[in-house]
Amino acid sequence: MSLKSTLCGIVCAAYLSGCSVLVKSYEQDERYAGPQPLPAEVVQRFEYGTSVLDENPFGQFAASDLVERVQSLYFTREVRSFSSEDRHVGSMRTITFEYYRTALAEHPPLVMVLPILGGDYPIERSVCEMLAEHGISSVLVHRPPGILDPQTYQSLEVMILSLTADRRKTLDVIVASGEVDMERMGSFGISMGAITGVPLIAVEQRLQYHVLGLAGGDIPSIIMESSEDAVEEFVDEAMSAFGLSRAQLLDRLRSGYCSDPAELAPFIDARNVRMFLARFDWVVPLQYGMVLHERMGRPQLDVLPVGHYTAALFYFWVKDVTCEFFQEKFGVDGVEVERRRQEIVRSARRQRSDK
């Protein structure tokens, strides 16, 4: 039996045996009084320059380059890209995204899925497909190249501002299509996707509901303490490139850094957030996840009895919880979605029979 088959078997066995009963759950803090008002200074800091909608307000979605289109039974997946100036980096950037257009609803809600640090997006694509198969369109924004190259960004602050700008511009493009319900939009992120997603959802008022997994506040400390191989390599390369000790590198990461998730978390409505963390996480140490949870106003929280990577044992649980969360928040009628699914299946069968 292959390693992949073995791991799949372990995951399925854990799920079917009811491992979700091992999750420690905490409800939203009843004393929560709501988010703090977003300061004008923060709004100005995150301005992303000329909007792609200003450049082409009516045809921007059509004008984005279609890289690939794949038709599935319940959704269409399109890979698209567009170029826009990154005012924070001072150069043009090509932004690539995958749009999963559900066929199960008219004017559906939208979830922006934010990527983890590495890989070819298998987890993110699976979440996008799951949402689209339940009547919710989704968009996956690709990470820019060289994100862990010490020379890519002038500072951690510039990286956060640049990533946030990419995602807001992509949201502009999707909204310009006129296909999604602007009153029902949210975000999903795990690990780096969730960590860098916090500044986005703090300043982007169009995104209302959020699932944040394995996230944390205080990115400089997370970088210096993480057991993730790629992050440790980044630390070693950065110390070598700039001739710094670990303490000096930490100071450099903190220099001019104002947009940490822990600093922006109070501006997010905790009542619209569901978090999950891993008790034995050494990639994004649990203490920093709890810092973020506290700063955000103690939203609904699940603590899994695993580490960062062994959280894969709860893969199906995460997908189920995510789907239920967004369907409830968006008011998606599950019965109607199932009716449309059956209708599509019957139509496909008729077409095959006619051939």
Q: Mind listing the pLDDT tens digit for each residue in 62-112? A: 557 878 999 999 999 999 999 888 888 888 889 999 999 999 999 999 999
Binning pLDDT at 50, 70 and 90, where does residue 355 land? Answer: low
Q: Read off the amino acid at residue 185.
A: M
* Within a domain: 151: yes
* Within a domain: 312: yes
273-278 and 300-304 strand pairing: parallel
Q: What is the three-class DSSP state of 60?
A: helix
Q: Read off the amino acid at residue 348.
A: A
Q: How far apart are CA 47 and CA 3, in angstroms?
A: 47
Question: Is pLDDT at 301 greater than 60 in this prediction?
Answer: yes
* Within a domain: 146: yes
* Within a domain: 212: yes
Q: Read off the amino acid at residue 88.
A: H
Q: Which is higher by pLDDT, 141 or 58?
A: 141
Name the packing angle between helices 315-330 and 122-132 (round to 10°).
40
What CATH number corresponds to the domain at position 110?
3.40.50.1820
Mean pLDDT value of segment 330-337 = 94
Q: How far apart are CA 276 and CA 306, in angstroms?
A: 11
Q: What's the DSSP call for residue 298?
A: -
Mean pLDDT value of segment 227-253 = 94
Question: Is pLDDT at 61 greater than 60 in this prediction?
Answer: no
pLDDT tens digits along 154-205: 899 999 999 999 999 999 999 988 999 999 999 999 999 999 999 999 999 9
What per-residue confidence (pLDDT) applies to 177? 87
What per-residue confidence (pLDDT) applies to 5? 47
What per-residue confidence (pLDDT) applies to 14? 47
Residue partners of 279: CB distance under 8 A and separation at least 6: 24, 286, 303, 304, 305, 306
Q: Which is higher by pLDDT, 26 or 53?
A: 26
Q: What is the three-class DSSP state of 72?
A: coil
In the block, residue with structure tokens 């008022």: 205
Question: Is pLDDT at 12 greater than 90 in this prediction?
Answer: no
What are the backbone dihedrals phi and psi of residue 227, each rounded to the nearest 5 degrees, phi first? -95, 5
Q: What is the three-class DSSP state of 331?
A: coil
CB-CB contact of 207 with 112 (8 Å): yes
CB-CB contact of 200 with 167 (8 Å): yes
Question: Is pLDDT at 17 greater than 50 in this prediction?
Answer: no
Mean pLDDT value of segment 337-343 = 94
* Within a domain: 11: no
Mean pLDDT value of segment 15-36 = 80
pLDDT tens digits along 241-289: 999 999 999 999 999 999 999 999 999 999 999 999 999 999 999 999 9
Which residue range forms the structural domain that includes residue 163?
Answer: 38-354
What is the model's pTM? 0.90
Percent helix, percent strand, percent coil in the chain, to nearest 5: 50, 20, 35
Q: Number of helices (H) and strands (E) in the chain: give both, helices first.
A: 14, 10
What dihedral do alpha carbons 273, 278, 283, 284 form, nearest 10°? Answer: 30
- Give the other-Cβ count within 10 Å of 213's Cβ: 25
Question: Is pLDDT at 43 greater than 90 in this prediction?
Answer: yes
Question: C-alpha distances in angstroms, 172 versus 59, 168, 268, 289?
Answer: 12, 6, 20, 30
Question: Is pLDDT at 51 greater than 60 in this prediction?
Answer: no
288 alpha carbon, distance to own chain's centre: 18
38 alpha carbon, distance to own chain's centre: 21
* Within a domain: 131: yes
Give me the number of domains the chain comprises.
1
Q: How far apart are CA 242 and CA 330, in angstroms?
A: 48
* Within a domain: 176: yes
